[in-house]
Structure 1
Amino acid sequence: MRILLITGPGGSGRTTVAAATALRAAREGARTLLLTCDDALPAGLVPGGVPGLAVRLTDSAEGFRDVLTALQEQGGAALDLLGARPLERDEITPLPGARELAVLAAVREAARSGAHDLLVVDLPAAPEALALLALPGELRRYLRRLLPQERQAARALRPLLGRLAGVPMPSERLYESAARWDEQLAQVEDLLGRAEVRLTAEPGPSAVEAVRAAVLGLALYGLRPGALLATRVVPDASPDTWLTVLAAQQRKALDEWTAAGLPVHAVPHLGREPRGADDLTALGVPGAAVTAASAAGAAGSCSVERPVEDRSAEDGSLVWRIPLPGAVREELELVRRGDELLLAAGRFRRALPLPPALRRCAVTGAALREGVLAVRFVPDPAVWPSAER
């Protein structure tokens, strides 16, 4: 199953683009599922009776109740130890982040069902969408830190340790649950890593900065956009002076995006809000397999490579190159902590696992040139293997 993720700045028409993309794919013969978290999705956008097209609205409230109820059941021993009174299902209300969890669960469910050829996901606005894409990896990282899998090796000693300590020890069920969560999160992380991301933006001065930030955030999480759909584009030639000025502003933004190497596709302004299948077809959005990223192959088509350059023969260093298009030097923060590189770019922050060879090295410098952060490492003599040992 191919997955298309649609996001962009708020108000850029991403829900309309997602609906038009799903409709076109279904008409071209693909069994298509449109997954949206927008409660305001107009029924007219996806008309009924289109063969091969299904629409699903994620229910964050119900999904959050399922997750929290399951957590309470699996952590019952710990809750009893703390004297906690579990929440009843009907009193559980969704918290911030519940929508993201519901979308991730729906993506995994759709992939497991095998009932569709294409999944089009109408994500929230770009900042929230980037947080959603990062969520599986971050949750797995927290699980590994809080419940290390190697601790399971001592499960035979837990009853003895419990008697010596005088308090109950974490049950085997807790570690089994953690392993199950890690497996499920890994599946979702793999699905998102192989998906194609398409950005939507209405060209204009503010959108240029919003797209730059979105592309930078995607790169930090190992993705690049397969297409940038410039929405509500007006004709260049018009007798209306106001439209002429607007067209000039849009053309400037389109030229900047093209010069930055983004795969831009213009979506025309219809002069009205799109309604029904005919309007969606008139938008002329690209199909599910016509972008440059798609042509490169479905698996990993939008992934970003982070190569390690071996310069040991020249100056004894290794250089890790991390693409960060649109990054500004003053907005970058870089910290080495254990086997991770903590990298912040603007409002985005990511803990990048170091490649195996670099874990035995020390960071000696970094430089940002032409949208690529080059981090320089040198082998640590204390741990680097040598011919003398």
Structure 2
Amino acid sequence: MRILLFTGKGGVGKSTVASGTAALAAAAGQRTLVLSTDAAHSLADAFGVPVGPEPTAVADHLFVQQVDAQLRFEQSWAEIQGYLLSVLDTTGMDPVAAEELTVIPGAEEVLALLELRLHALSDDWDVIVVDCAPTAETLRLLALPEALGWYMQRVFPVQQRVVKALRPVLSRAAGVPMPGGGVFEAVERLHAELDEVRTLLSGPEASVRIVLTPEAVVLAEARRAYTTLSLFGYRVDGVVANRVFPAEGADDWRAGWVLAQDEVLAQVEESFSGLPLWRSEYGAAEPVGVEALTALARGLYDGTDPIGTSGVRGPFEMVSVRSGVQLRLRLPFVTRDQVDLARSGDELVVTVGSHRRLLTLPASLARMRVTGARVDDDGVLRVSFQDAATASSSSPSAQERVG
């Protein structure tokens, strides 16, 4: 099964491109589902038909779904929310206000990812196309499973044991109810499901496509998105330049735009060298409906496979070298002074700007020492490992700054 995620700055037309790609896949006979994780759903507008909370058929082999976040919220968060409501009730807070406070920010996007997991496990689809939220929300969302994993491994077991042992004392001392076993089980279940989602989205059958328009500000955000997606292990397999002005028949006003866009497009080609770059020209009318979306996608992919992986490798590699093993992580557009690296037990802590990732090392590397690290000019972080027994006593410390 193929999973394609489309993201980009708000307003660049990613919903249209995602819908067109799905329509073209369905036209080739692939059982295709388009799923939106954006709280501001726009798939119904793109297809020009009503779309419900369950997969809605809009053409042969093509289904569209705008997730009913409230229903999934009740299924996945009800136990946790019930406990939080009981805590707020002891403070005398108005019940309506308390219910609003217990809805976690970004819950709709998270629960849409859980819906994606159910569809991926169902074996009902050959292709799932995900229309993601704008870039910043998508990046926070895709980083969530790993961040929650760190909490579940390091903090949650201790917290669970303490609360279980001291619940009567804590309840009397704090004056608020302590969480019961059902709450902890709900948190564990939520974590396990999100971890499955992350495994799916970082696997070989899944990839991300960045949609942009030929504007300098949009390109800058796309570059940052590429770096962050790579940091968290998600494979970007192509870039879509949308709303490109056609050069033919341009009047003076449009000719100026064509020249400006050509300059940005040259930067796009340089920035994303090695990735397919698909271009979609402005049309005479907004593409709405299956037929128009399919035509847009045919022009965009120009005979290439719209759901192909393009042969682009993932951002991680483990390579055997003479001195041991080298872990390589591609970090596009990153320089040496932007990266911090630390070793903590069986984890590597990689920080790029404001984003931090904790990489749990496989057992084969966890037994080794870090003997060196550098960022090459091509933006590849290379971390060298060597058996502890043979590593030199003068090797770099377990915590170091890459530079």
**Bucket of the pairwise TM-score, normalised by the shorter protein:** 0.7 to 0.9
| Other-structure match for 2:288 | 275
| Other-structure match for 2:63 | 54
Moved more, 239-248 or 192-201: 239-248
**Equivalent residue in structure 2 for 1:216, among 209, 212, 227:** 227
Q: Distance in 2 between matches of 1:85 and 1:3?
A: 47
| Other-structure match for 2:33 | 33
Moved more, 278-287 or 8-17: 278-287
**Equivalent residue in structure 1 for 2:380, among 372, 383, 388:** 372
Q: Distance in 1 between matches of 2:45 and 2:136?
A: 28
Tell me how far 1:140 sits from its aligned partner.
2.3
| Residue 149 of structure 2 is aligned to residue 130 of structure 1 | no
**Equivalent residue in structure 1 for 2:355, among 339, 348, 358:** 348
Q: Could you report, residue by residue, the CA deviation over 1:344-373 in whole angstroms, capped at 9, with x for unpaired residues?
A: 223422111123343234445422111101
**Equivalent residue in structure 2 for 1:185, among 184, 188, 194:** 194
Tell me how far 1:135 sits from its aligned partner.
1.7
**Equivalent residue in structure 2 for 1:118, among 124, 127, 131:** 127
Q: Could you report, residue by residue, the CA deviation over 1:242-271 in whole angstroms, capped at 9, with x for unpaired residues?
A: 322322232233333333222101111114
Superposition pairs of residues 145-164 of structure 1, within 5 angstroms: 145-148=154-157
Q: Could you report, residue by residue, the CA deviation over 1:23-74 in whole angstroms, capped at 9, with x for unpaired residues?
A: 222222222221112535164521455222222112334433443312256x
Unaligned stretches of 5+ residues in structure 1 = 385-389
Moved more, 35-44 or 348-357: 35-44
Q: Could you report, residue by residue, the CA deviation over 1:154-188 in whole angstroms, capped at 9, with x for unpaired residues?
A: 9xxx99x669x967999765665555444323321
Q: Distance in 2 between matches of 1:69 and 1:88?
A: 15
Tell me which amino acid in the other structure corresponds to 1:290. D
| Other-structure match for 1:262 | 275
Superposition pairs of residues 32-111 of structure 1, within 5 angstroms: 32-36=32-36, 37-39=38-40, 41=42, 43-48=44-49, 49-72=58-81, 92-93=99-100, 94-111=103-120
TM-score by length of 1: 0.79
| Other-structure match for 1:360 | 367
Check 1:16–1:347 CA distance in 2 against 1; reply closer, same or farther (3 A cut).
farther
Q: Distance in 2 between matches of 1:10 and 1:188?
A: 24
Q: Distance in 1 between matches of 2:201 and 2:134?
A: 17
Tell me which amino acid in the other structure corresponds to 1:147. F
Tell me how far 1:278 sits from its aligned partner.
3.8
Tell me the secondary structure at the aligned position of residue 275 of structure 1.
coil
Are the aligned partners of 2:79 and 2:183 in contact in 1 as well (CA < 8 Å)?
no
Tell me which amino acid in the other structure corresponds to 2:9. P
Are the aligned partners of 2:13 and 2:211 in contact in 1 as well (CA < 8 Å)?
yes
Identity, in percent, stands at 33
Q: Distance in 2 between matches of 1:346 and 1:310?
A: 29
Size of the alignment, in residue pairs?
367
| Residue 346 of structure 2 is aligned to residue 339 of structure 1 | yes
Tell me how far 1:208 sits from its aligned partner.
2.6
Tell me the secondary structure at the aligned position of residue 309 of structure 2.
helix
Tell me how far 1:123 sits from its aligned partner.
0.2
Are the aligned partners of 1:360 and 1:383 in contact in 2 as well (CA < 8 Å)?
no
Check 1:40–1:136 CA distance in 2 against 1; reply closer, same or farther (3 A cut).
closer
**Equivalent residue in structure 2 for 1:290, among 275, 285, 305:** 305
Are the aligned partners of 1:63 and 1:98 in contact in 2 as well (CA < 8 Å)?
no
Q: Distance in 2 between matches of 1:380 and 1:242?
A: 66
Q: Distance in 1 between matches of 2:179 and 2:45?
A: 52
Tell me how far 1:291 sits from its aligned partner.
5.5
Check 1:307–1:252 CA distance in 2 against 1; reply closer, same or farther (3 A cut).
farther
Check 1:68–1:340 CA distance in 2 against 1; reply closer, same or farther (3 A cut).
same
RMSD: 3.8
Q: Could you report, residue by residue, the CA deviation over 1:311-359 in whole angstroms, capped at 9, with x for unpaired residues?
A: 32xxxx6432211111133322222222212112234221111233432
Tell me which amino acid in the other structure corresponds to 1:111. A
| Other-structure match for 1:387 | none
Are the aligned partners of 2:349 and 2:359 in contact in 1 as well (CA < 8 Å)?
yes
Check 1:102–1:252 CA distance in 2 against 1; reply closer, same or farther (3 A cut).
same
Tell me how far 1:307 sits from its aligned partner.
1.5
